[in-house]
Structure formats: structure tokens, C-alpha cells
Structure 1
Amino acid sequence: MAELTNLESKLGEVIGLAMAAQAATDKISKMVEVDQLSMVLKRMHGEAAKAEERATEIAGSLEGKKTAILDEARETKGKGSKMMRTYLDDSSDALDGFEFLTMAEAGEVGHWKVLRQMAAAGKDTEMVALAEWQIPIQERHFQDVQAGCLALAMEEDPEEPAS
């Protein structure tokens, strides 16, 4: 197995987070009854798939590193999936799902910014460009899930017993 640099490892992590985001949006879309929120999740899913695709293309251009980077991605996806299973159980509702996505999207924003910083320090213009393309998308995802949380919270009766 090829040894990865910190930058290559971070690339694997953002690929894995994009994979996990697709699984999360699929799961949470089944909890949502509001069409507008369903559309947000569908768009986020497609954008996560595109991020995975573009980042994987860069991984493929790194001589002898693609397999190791994708192994890192699968490991990161597994960690994200475990967090989701822990946070979202059978009694979870759409608000729980959007609260989980708020945490996940904040993490993605942070990872993409770290990738950009590391790539800039390493003068890897291709990865800098990838991160600069993805960061505004991730920031929008974070804003969208926060707005979704607040919209769903407004539907909750604060005096009703918790389920």
C-alpha cells in the first residue's frame, strides 16, 4: 500500500465525507415530509456525488496513490456512517435528521478548508482549485440545513412531552 502524505490523506477524508453525505441525505430524505426540504436534500446529494467524482479524479492522477486514498475515503465514510447510526435511531424524525446534518456539514466545511490550506502550502494548484470550488457549496449546505432545522423546529410544540 502506498504511503500517503498529509495532503493526500486529507483528500481521502473529503472523498469519504462526500460519500457519507450521500448516504445521510438518502436516509434523512425518508424522514422528511416537506417538499422544499426534500428538494434541498436531493440537490445536496447530487452535489456530494459531484464532489466525490471530482476529488476521485484528482486521486486517480496521483501516481500509485488512488487505492490508498480511496481506502482512506472508505474509512472516513465508515466513521461518518457509524456517527449517523448512533445519532439517528428508529425514533428519529426530520428535525433530528437535520440536526445531524448541521453537525456533518460543519465538519465538511472545516475539512475542505483544511484541504485548501494544505494544498496552498504544498503549491498543489489542482487541489486548491477543487477546494475553492467546493467550499462555497459546503457553506451553502450548512446554511440550508440550519434553515431546515429552524423551519422544522417551528413546527414543534415546545410544551409537548418529548418522544
Structure 2
Amino acid sequence: MAYQPSLSVAGFSLPPLSRPQLAEARRVRAVESFEDGVSNAEIARVVGVCAESVRRWRRVWEQGGASALRRRAAAGRPPKPDDTLVDMVRAALEQGAQTHGFEADLRPLKRVGAVVTRTMGVVLSRASVWRLLTGRLGWSLQRPEWQAVERDESKIARWIAHEWPRIKKGP
């Protein structure tokens, strides 16, 4: 039976563990078993991994201790806008589009990209602006509703009230 960390505490359901969290939980359980003197084969069976993984974990544990088996931060380049810059963009966008020289208070990607460039000094692609807007800021894209210049709401209401019922009735 594979080792599965408990997902409920005091009657409350916890969110499921991510794969890296689950892998770390398995290694922590293995370290506890190393300290108790349990064999590699038994640890592999209990934790639900192959014996070679347990042997590799034991070598790392013997050289660097339990901390050497802890999960590390994700490698790679950090995202372009850090949290401070994202907060600056949020503050700039909350001021409204008119503050930045736009006529209407809408957030199409092109405008948001222009504000990001002015605020952060970084030019982002449309896809990156979209991820920043929807992912990091949690906002939605806004587009204007296009209407004809000749549109007359009173004439439309009158047509709906008088003409539409007549047409709907039929001959």
C-alpha cells in the first residue's frame, strides 16, 4: 500500500497535494524510517516507490541530512514583473484609463500594455499582458460595446412596445 498523506484535519478537508508536495512527503516519511533503521526494501514498499529511489534518498540523507531531501524552489528565470512591479501596475490601472490619456475607462490589452510599459519600463507581448491582467491581477478584459451613432433608445422602445406585438401576431 502506497503512503498517502492525510488530507483532512479536524473534520476539514484540505486541498489535494501537488506532485512536488507529495514527493516531498514521501521523502520525509523515508527519512523518518531511515532514522528508525528500517530497510530500504521496506521503506520502498511503504512509501510506494522503487528501491533504487530509496537508496538514492539514503545516500543524499547520509551526506546532507534531512534538509537535503526537502523540496527546492523552482529553477529557472523568475517572472519579469515581480510582486512590487505588479502592485505598481495595479495602482496605475486603478487610477483609470483617463489618467493615462485614454478617453474611456476600459482595459483592452493594447491600453494595458501601454500602461505596463510606462509603469515598469518593460514591453510585454499581448499574451504576457493577458497573463498579467487575468492571472496576476485577477482582472478581466474590457471591450467597448459598439453602437451606431444614429441609435435612438426612445424610438427602439416605441417600436418594441407597438410594432413588435403587431408583427408577432401575424396577419
Q: What TM-score do you get using the length of structure 1 for normalisation? A: 0.26
Task: Tell me which of the two structures has the higher relative contact order, counting C-alpha pairs closer than 8 angstroms and 6 or more residues apart.
Answer: 1
**More helix per residue: 1 or 2?**
1
